[in-house]
């Protein structure tokens, strides 16, 4: 499928991996709708990127807000063709510790945002994409979700985060099978350690040490490398029902 001339939705697109994806898609010729809770950053980014970018304030767990973002993206000629969900949050806490058991509300909130939010974007975007006219190969569009290598190598204190990201991995194949008759592909990216705002808060020493632990390249991933993979998924029709680790061969230790 061609990126040029397509309409795309990037949920969680105001910063980090989502921002890089929005920039990459606009540079490749797509019209991009950025959906994010951070209105200040989202509006500024859309204004910077020009008429090919639009911002819609949205919480991925809010059906009405995501529906509005999908509708905005689908209003372009040819309808919504590309949906990318990068929205997510983290939390670190052991299952049981000196202070007692893991906080159930925090666990539920991580799962709600990361897993249920991703599914909310997926289902609403896929429904809109299904209304498109298919291309010459019968394809109507593609939905890309963001998991994490924590889905496979969750560390101490990452039970909530790993469970939420593991759920995204687990729904990828059945979702792709569900949507195959409609010509809609579903692919998940599982990034390793990337140079995003989350890691930017760490001291430079700590960031360098994290990068050095990656087999090759021995550095933190760059958000534009995530965006590059998004572009490759969009344009390669045989990528479907798969989760792709993007981690430089990193396998996370227990802590």
pLDDT tens per residue across span 187-234: 999 999 999 887 776 788 888 888 999 999 999 999 999 999 999 999
- Residue found under tokens 């998004």: 230
Q: Which of 154-158, 201-205, 210-214, 245-249 has the lowest mean pLDDT?
A: 201-205
Q: Which of 9, 179, 187, 16 is nearest to 90 (CA)?
A: 16
Cβ partners under 8 Å of residue 33, min gap 6: 7, 8, 9, 10, 53, 54, 55, 56, 69, 72, 73
Half-sphere exposure of 91 (CA within 13 A, CB side): 21
pLDDT tens-digit map of 59-95: 999 999 999 999 999 999 999 999 999 999 998 999 9
Q: Is 180 exposed, middle or buried (0-12, 13-18, 19+ CB in 10 A)?
A: middle
What pLDDT score was predicted for residue 78? 92
Q: Which residues are 243's β-sheet partners?
A: 188
Q: Map out the domains of the chain with their CATH numbers.
A: 7-246 (3.40.50.720)
Which residues share a beta bridge with 23? Answer: none
* Predicted pLDDT of residue 63: 98
What pLDDT was estimated at residue 209? 86
Residues identified as active-site: 161
Tokens for 233, please give them.
């998924």
Q: Tell me the residue ranges of DSSP E strands in 12-92.
A: 31-36, 53-57, 80-85
Q: What is the pTM of this model?
A: 0.96
Predicted pLDDT at 204: 85
Distance CA 108, CA 245 (A): 25
Look at the chain and count its residues.
255
pLDDT digits (tens, 9 = 90+) for 105-149: 999 999 999 999 999 999 999 999 999 999 999 999 999 999 999
Residue 30: which pLDDT band, with cuts at 50, 70 and 90? very high
Please give the pLDDT value at position 212: 92
Q: For residue 151, give the 3-state DSSP assignment.
A: helix
Q: What is the pLDDT of residues 37-69, one digit of tens each?
A: 999 999 999 999 999 999 999 999 999 999 999
């Amino acid at each position: 499928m061609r990126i040029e001339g397509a309409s795309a939705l990037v949920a969680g697109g105001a910063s980090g991996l989502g921002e890089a994806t929005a920039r990459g898609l606009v540079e490749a010729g797509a019209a991009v709708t950025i959906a994010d809770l951070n209105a200040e950053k989202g509006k500024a980014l859309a204004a910077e990127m020009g008429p090919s970018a639009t911002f819609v304030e949205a919480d991925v767990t809010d059906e009405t807000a995501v529906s509005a973002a999908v509708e905005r993206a689908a209003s372009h000629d040819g309808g919504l063709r590309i949906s990318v969900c990068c929205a997510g949050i983290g939390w670190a806490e052991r299952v049981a510790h000196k202070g007692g058991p893991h906080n159930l509300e925090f666990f539920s909130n991580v799962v709600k945002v990361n897993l249920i939010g991703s599914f909310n974007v997926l289902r609403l975007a896929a429904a809109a994409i299904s209304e498109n006219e298919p291309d010459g190969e019968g394809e109507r569009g593609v939905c890309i979700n963001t998991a994490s290598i924590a889905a496979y190598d969750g560390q101490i204190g990452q039970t909530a985060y790993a469970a939420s990201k593991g759920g995204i991995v687990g729904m990828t194949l059945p979702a792709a099978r569900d949507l195959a008759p409609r010509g809609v592909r579903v692919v998940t990216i599982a990034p390793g350690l990337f140079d995003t705002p989350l890691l930017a808060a760490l001291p430079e020493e700590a960031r360098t040490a994290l990068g050095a632990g990656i087999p090759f390249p021995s550095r933190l991933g760059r958000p534009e490398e995530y965006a590059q993979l998004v572009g490759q998924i969009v344009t390669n029709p045989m990528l479907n029902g798969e989760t792709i680790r993007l981690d430089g061969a990193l396998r996370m230790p227990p802590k």
